[in-house]
Structure 1
Amino acid sequence: MTKQILSCIAFLALSINCALAQADKKSDLFIELLNQDNVFFERGFNQCDLDYLGSRIAEDLKFYHDQSGFQDKNSFFENTQKYICSDSEKKPIRKVDTNSLQVFPLYNNGKLYGAIQKGIHHFYLRELDKDDVWTSTAKFTHVWLLDNGLWKLSEVLSYDHQNDIAVNEKQRIEQILKDNNVPALGIGIIESGKLTKIEVYGTLDLQRTAPYNAIFKVASLTKPVFALTVLKLIDKGLLDLNEPLHPYWIDPDIKNDKRHQKLTPKIILTHQTGFPNWRYMTEANKLFFEFDPQTKYQYSGEGFEYLRKAIEYKLGKSLEELATEFLFEPLGMTDTRFWWDNEMDETRYAQNFDEHGEKIETEKYYEANAAANLLTTVEDYGKFLEYVINEADLSEKLYQEMIARQVQLGENDFFGLGWEILTEFSDDEFALLHTGKDPGVSTLAIWFPKSKNGYLIFLNGDKVNNIYEELLSNRLYLGNELWNKR
């Protein structure tokens, strides 16, 4: 086994793409490996034909199991006899989920010498005169090698075993997604300042299973990313929180209204510009002040775009360049982008659906927007949220300014710099949160500075209230209190 193959196996075990061409499910190789899997485990495992089993295992077999440890050929054979084949009336059996199978051929100088096979298998308890009882489900990666024309099992990885509790939870979540016409759900959970869980359920488009690294459009969850980019610029002395923006940018629609001279990064990050949310939503389809800046709160995407243009003119760098320099590269957010650039993997995009389960045509964007349209994964945004929870390498003064109650929205509701602030949680907790909403998009990110817990929720559909209620009421930190506040 070459180092290259072993490297690929390790990558596959972690669900990372390896540089191998996947075999088509109608190809001879895929069908051959499906048959090999079926016969090998039916005869060798389910029927305990140990002679056959021995003839189809490589002499240097390596078997990695996430619960029972490592086994070589001898120990694998002994354990099969002892734990699988010792009781003729009650024994475990294995069935493969054929829809989950993937096959990657292995070549040497153009000649096929083996294949990597990935999939999901289920285990049952079989007793005489009784129906099979499901016991667990796991993922597997097999390496099959050709030995004088015979396929032999050479490497086995069996991992991510789930019992009935975990699988029932998955089934329940996927059922509520189906009931509400929402194809996919992504959840990231942060505990004590660490991103500890990434879960993706459902499908990308009602057909293809949503992968761990599914790409979601997150709408206004773009704003916290932009806001932190701005704060990093301030912390580096490249911008001042209270400096006027008119020397760098004046929108042509308001050039004759001197109130533009009052606009600063702080006023914009706290949504006190006086702008409407979007000019296209107004009758005049022009930007204008609906009230004097810094006199009250009004949520405005236009404000964030105004600040983006001012910063880009001042520093001579685009938002993409600045966010990449200060956030995406340092945090390893390799799957996050502001628009559909050439590196966007459209095959992983969680397509958007309306409340009736009808697909919404995907609108692709080709320029950055500081307030909307960010494309990202649960893992990438989870890294960002973890970074924010741990104070984002900001000075203590600026971090405290970010989480301070800058504007009061309600009795226990405020706005800081880029984040809404909710108070009066149990244990003296308070939370900073942001949501995102577009057609076929519903997202939420929340974090609790005291406990350093937090989570994010990505959904690619419109009918989401029942899903949020289920998740917040039953699964997530102080979620029931958050649900009741909203």
Structure 2
Amino acid sequence: MKHTHISILLFFAVGLVVSANNGSVALAHPVKDIIIDGDFGDWPDTALQYPLSHYNTSFKSEGKLDLAAYFRIGYNLTERALYVAVEVTDNHFVQNPGDSRWWVHDMQVLYLEPRHSKEPVGVLALEATTYYSKIVEQNLNWDPYVKNAGWNMVECEVIRVDNRTRYEWKIILGDHITPGRTLGFDYTVFDKDATEGYPDTLGWGRNNGIKHECSQCLGDVLLVPSEAQLATLSGKVDVDQKFVESATLRLESSTVIENHLDVTLDSAGTFRQKLLPGSYRLLQPDRLFWEDPLHLYRLKAVGQETVTLRKSGSSHLELPRMTKLVPRAELIPKKGLLHEPNATTTQTIDNFVKAYMNHDVVPGVSLMVIREGKPWYYKTYGVQNRVTGEPITENTLFEGASMTKPIFAYVVNLMVERNQLDLQRPLHEYLAFPELEEYPDYKKMTAYNVLSHKSGMPNWGRTLLREPGTAYGYSGEAFEYLKRVIEEITSRDIEDIIREELIKPQNIGRMEFKRSPALRQVFSRGHTDGTPSIRAVPEEPKVAYSLHTEARAYTDFALTLLERRGLKAETYNRMMRIHSPFPENRRETDHPKEGMGLGIAISESKFGKMFYHSGNSGDFKCLFRMYEDLNMGFVVFTNSNTGNFLADDLALLLVEGKKK
């Protein structure tokens, strides 16, 4: 029997107590005399087993028999401790001692939010394998509660028995261990069966991928008092079938403010849950609902009901519809505002931005409007972090994501102009790509293929999907390969090249491309449905996505392109024409002609020629559009996954007007 001991210690500060809400609920009963040794024989036979049933796979595994898991949970009031026992059945147990990267081995993460706040707060994500343990991304967390956690109040034992792995936990939570209250809790198992790619995941509640940064993505644990006689509440909520997926019902105790939890509604809107006796308020909280990546809906609470439960009793309720759809305001004019601006135009722009921010929960925006080829209206809005409330200022930097690519493309086209790089010469003749050697066609890939997004590579992944030059296929990975080629040719760091060849000579404002203490002081947090993110900035420049900047600085670059500065006319003519038409599923506009130039998108319509690029890192959305023939456009950065609706509709507000 393989037996590994891990001692994990944590300090938990006392905080506010409210609710988490992915709809999964567990009951924790009192336990005693449990030794943390991986042997579950000292757990009471009455302890409920909760299966982990939310499965997400990236690679084909052997099926359910290869991965199954359950947990038990209890608490000890004398010790003020939460106990958790998890058993994972997995025929292939992968470990890589000495490597703490989460995607290279089997491991698990226990998620805790003892304060159980209704508002987003930090999550203590405890990651453990047989040979290491840590708090996930603790140094990046924005919540002092998590950042200041220590390793002195948690104990964990991990053992492997045949095809089963057991994780047993004891976590001291102080006053948070109070009978009758609730905690935020969840659990995810990571199963590394494939030799490449990311592990499969098996979680208790929904949202396996983002629980470590989303307190409202956790389930709920009710600490059941000793000798308590539970009641049963069941019922049905009138729910619009369009929005029933992921719908929950919140149950808030009227007498114990620390007791509230969310239960899942099935496709018919029904629910059933055991609760402590007492009076409860029933409501459905405000939420955002994604029908698909292009359709976001705002649902707002419109009322609540109450119910009183008696010991060992049961109640059944038929509840009315408790949310309503809140549409975006119709604010787009028939004709774009920039064609004939007046004294109220800037106020109209402000009202538009604020309305979209409010409806779509976009915390912060940096916007520049360009007219007659010059900066015309600039403003910042909102906050860097929706929870802590630091305001967006003129110095706040946003992640630019793929809007990094046109900046790199400018430098590449400059090198071609200087005969330092041949657009049509195979890149492997400059620098080999060892991981692609198994694909002979990769040796046909050129800088032209990369800039026009016909490299044959996927967006990310060191493989070849098709022969280079044969079809459009967006690829950040190919841009990173071209970066390495440029650095090989010049013997210079790509950031130095960008600064010396573009930023300094064209007097462009602040742009950062890698992690630094200075950047950390001024960069905004990204947000996912209103929750601040904790992702790291890359340690080295990534020409496909690592730009951090704001609207004024990026406008400096956009006007460099508009005015055709820094490059020869023939270079601009080649760069700014369509080389790779977009397929229907990649189009970003309804313009008749649209496709990729050399590192920048191009379209043609009744508004003339437009060059543009968007950026999407998940928790940041940004866009710049320059209507070349009209000499107008805009640059906008948002710190939210929902910011694309504002960005896209700014084009209608400012230039194109309302669609028929």
TM-score above 0.5: yes
| Cα RMSD after superposing both structures | 2.2
Deviation larger for 368-377 or 448-457: 448-457
- Say whether 1:399 aligns with 2:579: no
Partner of residue 318, structure 1: 493
Pair 1:169–1:391, CA change in 2 (3 A) = closer
Matching residue of 1:99:
none
Contact in 2 for aligned 1:190/1:386 (Cα 8 Å): no
* Counterpart pick for 2:472 among 283, 287, 297: 297
Alpha-carbon shift at residue 308 of structure 1 (Å): 0.3
* 1:412 is aligned to 2:593: yes
Indicate if the aligned counterparts of 2:621 and 2:642 stay in contact, CA closer than 8 A.
no
1:301 and 1:220 mapped to 2: Cα distance? Answer: 8
Q: Report the equivalent of 1:80.
A: none
2:59 is matched with none
- The one of 444, 457, 464 equivalent to 1:262 is 444
Return the structure number with greater strand share.
2
Alignment partners' CA distance in 1, 2:376 and 2:344? 22
Alpha-carbon deviation of 1:451? Answer: 2.7
> How has the CA–CA distance of structure 1 residues 398 and 254 changed in structure 2, closer, same or farther, with 3 Å as cutoff?
same
Structure 2, unpaired ranges of 5+:
1-342, 584-591
Contact 2:480 2:543 in 1 (8 A): yes
List per-residue Cα deviations over 1:52-100 (Å, max 9, x = no partner): xxxxxxxxxxxxxxxxxxxxxxxxxxxxxxxxxxxxxxxxxxxxxxxxx
Aligned to 2:510: 335
1:110 maps to what in 2?
none
Return the alpha-carbon distance in structure 1 between the equivalents of residues 561 and 647 of structure 2: 23
The code of the aligned residue for 1:173 comes to V
Question: 3-state DSSP class of the match of 2:356?
Answer: helix
| Kept after mapping to 1: 8 A contact 2:396/2:522 | yes
Shift >6 Å, 4+ stretches: none
The structural deviation recorded for 1:260 is 2.4
CA contact 1:211–1:348 (8 Å) conserved in 2: no
2:591 counterpart of 1:422: no
- What is the TM-score with the length of structure 1 in the denominator? 0.60
What's the secondary structure of 2:565's corresponding residue?
A: helix
In structure 1, the partner of 2:560 is 387
**One-letter identity of the residue aligned with 1:434:** H
- Aligned position for 1:150: none
Amino acid of the structure 2 residue aligned with 1:454: G
Deviation at 1:182, TM superposition (A): 0.9
Change (3 A) 1:434 1:205: same
Instruction: Give, in angstroms, the shift of residue 187 of structure 1.
Output: 1.3
User: Displacement, 1:172?
Assistant: 5.2
Equivalence for 1:374:
547
Match of 1:347 among 521, 531, 534: 521
- How much has 1:380 moved relative to structure 2? 1.0
Whether the 8 Å CA contact 2:602–2:609 is kept in 1: the answer is yes
One-letter amino acid matched to 1:436:
G
Alignment of 1:206-217 (within 5 A): 206=386, 207-217=389-399
Q: Distance in 2 between matches of 1:249 and 1:441?
A: 33
1:436 equivalent in alignment to 2:620:
no
Instruction: Report deviation, 1:324.
Output: 0.6
Going from structure 1 to structure 2, the CA distance change for 1:165 and 1:408 (only over 3 Å counts) comes to closer
Question: Given the alignment of the two structures, is residue 278 of structure 1 paired with residue 432 of structure 2, yes or no?
Answer: no
Aligned residue-pair number? 308
Alignment deviations for residues 271-310 of structure 1 (CA, whole Å, 9 cap, x no partner): 011001001xxxxxxx121111101100000110110001
Q: Which amino acid aligns with 2:467?
A: D
SS at match of 1:338: coil
Q: Secondary structure at the match of 1:423?
A: strand
In 2, Cα distance between the equivalents of 1:372 and 1:468? Answer: 18
Give the 3 Å change call, closer, same or farther, for CA 479–292 of structure 1 in structure 2.
farther
Q: Please list, as runs of the form range in 1=range in 2, the aligned pairs for 1:112-151 lying within 5 A after superposition.
A: none
Cα distance in 1 for partners of 2:548, 2:501 equals 18
Q: 1:201 aligns with which of 362, 381, 393?
A: 381
- Partner secondary structure for residue 498 of structure 2: helix
Would the alpha carbon gap of residues 219 and 480 (structure 1) be closer, same or farther in structure 2, given more than 3 Å must change? Answer: farther
Q: Which amino acid aligns with 1:452?
A: N
Unaligned stretches of 5+ residues in structure 1: 1-162, 280-286
2:656 to 454, 478, 485: 478
For residues 633 and 353 of structure 2, what CA distance do their matches in structure 1 show? 20
Q: Distance in 2 between matches of 1:177 and 1:222?
A: 24
CA contact 1:213–1:378 (8 Å) conserved in 2: no
Structure 2 letter corresponding to 1:224? P
Q: 1:479 to 1:259 in 2, by over 3 A?
A: farther
Say if 1:444 and 1:458, in contact at 8 Å, map to a contact too. yes
Structure number with the higher helix fraction is 1
Query: Aligned equivalents of 2:506 and 2:457: distance in 1?
Result: 33
Query: 1:213 touches 1:379 (CA, 8 Å); kept in 2?
Result: no
Matched residues in 1 for 2:422 and 2:382: separation?
44
Shift of 1:373: 1.8
1:451 alignment partner in structure 2 = 630
Counterpart residue identity of residue 486, structure 2: I
Farther off after superposition, 237-246 or 375-384: 237-246
What is the match of residue 240 of structure 1?
A: 422
With the length of structure 2 as denominator, give the TM-score of the two structures: 0.44
What is the alpha-carbon distance in structure 2 between the residues aligned to residue 245 and residue 165 of structure 1?
A: 50
Cα distance change on mapping 1:394 and 1:165 into 2, 3 Å: closer
Counterpart amino acid of residue 525 in structure 2: Q
* Partners of 2:449 and 2:468 within 8 A in 1: yes
Pair 276,199 (structure 1): closer, same or farther in 2 beyond 3 Å: same
Q: Structure 1 pair 255/444, CA: closer, same or farther in 2 (3 Å)?
A: same
